[in-house]
Amino acid sequence: MSAIIKKITIDPPLDGKENMRRDKKNLRLIKTAGSSSYLIRIYEWSRPTISLGWAQSIKPFLNKVNPGIAMVKRITGGRAVLHEREITYSVTAPVPSPYFGHTLYGSYKIIARILVSFLQNLGIKASLKRQKTAAGNKSPVCFATTSVYEIEVRGKKLIGSAQKREKKGFLQHGSLPLFCSQQKLAQYLDLSAAGTHHNHYLCLKDLVNDFSVNELKKNLANAFEKYINEKNKNQA
């Protein structure tokens, strides 16, 4: 019988390679764990870092990125994200999962509802994107467009998420910008390609005047824990 792993951790700020290594390790562990397992991380980045989706080309960024900004590849898909003054979550669970369902969009929807609950506790009226964005937006920037079951406030994207799904497990992670630094990506790209993506997203500072990063991380971890506890009660 496979061991059951249930863990929610709040990590200190780490560099991009270490954050991605830990996410990869969690996915590897979860694929051989018991079906009711989960590994959830809430973390930060120790230096400004651009993460690229696994299939995204690095060429548009070459010779344009400030030497002080690191770059990493994610194992998930999606578009470029600048991780600077933000908090990130990652969820890994078996497929299927009693907590996070058995389909890609099912898990997206469940995690999105947890994120909405977290934001509502901050007094933010967040909602789920219900439909796919129409084709045609070719921006390489994640926050330039909102995908189905991502989080919107006032019609603008607040949290960007991406998922890696395999036969026996999945990893989903997502970024909540605390301050509006995503527009800096335009400095590293052709502006005609990047577009005016700041028109499409918000950061937490737009919505909440005062906040503690450590408290936000704890509250987000608590939102996941509350959901899991309620799920356990309903299944008892």
67 has pLDDT over 80: no
pLDDT digits (tens, 9 = 90+) for 55-66: 888 877 767 777
- List, as own/partner pairs, every contact residues 111-117 make where C-beta atoms lie below 8 angstroms and the sequence separation is at least 24, other chains included: 111/161, 111/172, 111/174, 112/149, 112/150, 112/151, 112/161, 113/227, 114/223, 114/224, 114/227, 115/89, 115/151, 115/159, 115/174, 115/223, 116/151, 117/223, 117/226, 117/227
Q: Could you tell me the domains of the chain?
A: 6-235 (3.30.930.10)
- The label of the residue with tokens 């909102």 reads 146
Q: Of 142, 158, 162, 202, which residue is the catalytic one?
A: 142
pLDDT in tens, 11-56: 999 999 999 999 999 999 999 999 999 999 999 999 999 999 888 8
Could you tell me the pTM of the whole model?
0.89
180 assigned to active site:
no
